[in-house]
Structure 1
């Protein structure tokens, strides 16, 4: 029996997102990472020494979710908590040498995933697709009161 929602944009979006997440999990597992962890490494690679609040905001998750992910990356020796000058209340997170190496490998994985995902779609259609997805996100966000919603109830590396 055919799914009654099969001809909707939402159905196709959800299906594509699930497949994309599964493929990213497959590629990231080769680096010893779970989906979501690569985002922390990438953010720290771009700007090392971010606070937990900055990470949570950039990841679009709640602070406890970001903290749990950082704890797992710390246990793997990929990030470390750094003291912030004289303010003991502010903790910054930085990449270790191994974390920096893994962040570089993540960049290659993300580029490969992007090539696989867009395949034969030409540049003009890619740009249009990005704009349409952004608009779709804005439409849904507006109905949620404009707030970003943490899509993950638990750690982002489920």
Structure 2
């Protein structure tokens, strides 16, 4: 197991557990390694995640890489998938929507969910973000349930003997 020396200067957020989509992380690493080599081919520094510039979006993260020797700083990459939407503004992360669907279908609730995340050393989303996401998910689930019940009623009426 790799351990970070206590004396090294690592941003504290980089010592927690974080959820990334591996394919997106791989794409970021590959792309930024190429750009770094093109910019300074003689640099022997390592590209590392810039913990001070990490951007949290619920359970999703946007990250960028920087070089430990030269002044190379990459662009930010979304390391989560987004939910497609026809509305304007920032799109929801699939992991945030999925977690709220899971919370809505169990008895633990948001408080219990956030407690579980914190005890697993995952930086939890803010309670306000969870509440907003829960409101959207619960509205969609209610609508889906109402449509489903309407279909069931129609099928029952059609199957009834006359």
TM-score where L is the length of structure 2: 0.30
The structure with the greater share of residues assigned to helix is 1
Pick 1 or 2: higher relative contact order, CA cutoff 8 A, min separation 6: 1
Q: Which has the larger radius of gyration?
A: 2
